[in-house]
Amino acid sequence: MIHKEIDENRTREEKIESLNRFLRAHPLAEIQDLYKWLYYGEFGEIAIQEFYTEKKNAPALHSMLEELRFDGDNNISPENVWEPLGFSQRYLMVYLTPYYNMEYPLMRIVNLIQRSSAFQGYRMRFKLDWILLKDEIVSRNIGFSKQDFINFEDRIQFHQLPELDFSDTFRQNYPAAKRIIAGKLFFEYFPEFIGEPRGFTLLEDEAGSSVPQEEEEMVYPRWEGEAL
């Protein structure tokens, strides 16, 4: 009953389809990456949200510029600007290169990350979704057994719900620059991306890069469940 009340009306079939999309896009994902994907979707990137305080805007921007440079040097440019995360999909993974190439400001990403910490996830929902994910993956016989999941949970002390990184294999094979942002905030500021992961532009010329400029602070309406 608790699960139904806080699950934001996502059906089991919708959750499984989300998992299918993730596996199709990331066929080399390991158990740790499945955990991270599910964790991101529910809780976001907690450590990064805490780091991105206003006084640290400059290093945050510098970090993104370095990652954009790496993408450019290695010809990395995802087709989509964003992709959903986890079963609850409270958070999105926003790819910096296609976002920046459409002439959107990087400082807006910093601001949205700061604000994303207000959207707190549900531990109970995450644990129930993890059970669903485990059962689904084991039933497919794709190389991960029930014992593999048990060993993973013991190793990370699952009951504490630690915030892990993606595996080395995942980061090596899917290195595109990205940031994790609350979906409601992202779509509130960029409604053109609702249901349109690649986005669109009204400009006749192809969007190019520009020097990011810091914007004035935006005031967002509070959403239900958002902290002050």
How many C-beta atoms surround the C-beta of residue 89 within 10 A?
A: 18
Q: What is the pTM of this model?
A: 0.81
- Considering Cα of 101, then 62, then 163, then 191, what sign does the dihedral take? negative
pLDDT score, position 18: 96
When pLDDT is cut at 50, 70 and 90, the band that residue 54 belongs to is low
pLDDT score, position 187: 95
Q: Residue 219 carries which side chain, given as an amino acid letter?
A: V
When pLDDT is cut at 50, 70 and 90, the band that residue 3 belongs to is very low
CB 60 within 8 A of CB 45: no
Radius of gyration of the chain from its Cα atoms, rounded to whole angstroms: 18
pLDDT score, position 55: 53
What the block records as the tokens of 114 is 């700061």
Round the average pLDDT of the chain to a whole number and report it. 84
pLDDT score, position 213: 44
* Spatial separation of the C-alpha atoms in residues 182 and 36, rounded to whole Å: 16
Kindly report the backbone phi and psi dihedral angles of residue 83, in degrees, each rounded to the nearest multiple of 5, phi listed first: -140, 145
The residue among 207, 212, 178 whose CA lies nearest residue 61 is 212
Residues 110-120 have a mean pLDDT of 89
What the block records as the tokens of 48 is 């990064």
Tell me: pLDDT of 69 over 80.
yes
In this prediction, what percent of the chain has a pLDDT beyond 70? 78
* Spatial separation of the C-alpha atoms in residues 118 and 43, rounded to whole Å: 10
Domain ranges for the chain: 2-188
DSSP 96-156: HHHHHHTT--HHHHHHHHHHHTTS---HHHHHHHHHHHHHHHHHTTSS--HHHHHHHHHHH
CB 32 within 8 A of CB 151: no
Task: Convert the pLDDT of each residue in 184-224 to its tens digit.
Answer: 999 999 999 998 887 654 443 444 444 444 444 434 333 44
pLDDT score, position 47: 63
Residues 70-94 have a mean pLDDT of 96
Kindly report the backbone phi and psi dihedral angles of residue 92, in degrees, each rounded to the nearest multiple of 5, phi listed first: -120, 155
Helical packing angle, 146-156 and 123-139, nearest 10°: 150
* Spatial separation of the C-alpha atoms in residues 50 and 114, rounded to whole Å: 8
Kindly report the backbone phi and psi dihedral angles of residue 225, in degrees, each rounded to the nearest multiple of 5, phi listed first: 90, -5
In this prediction, what percent of the chain has a pLDDT beyond 90? 69
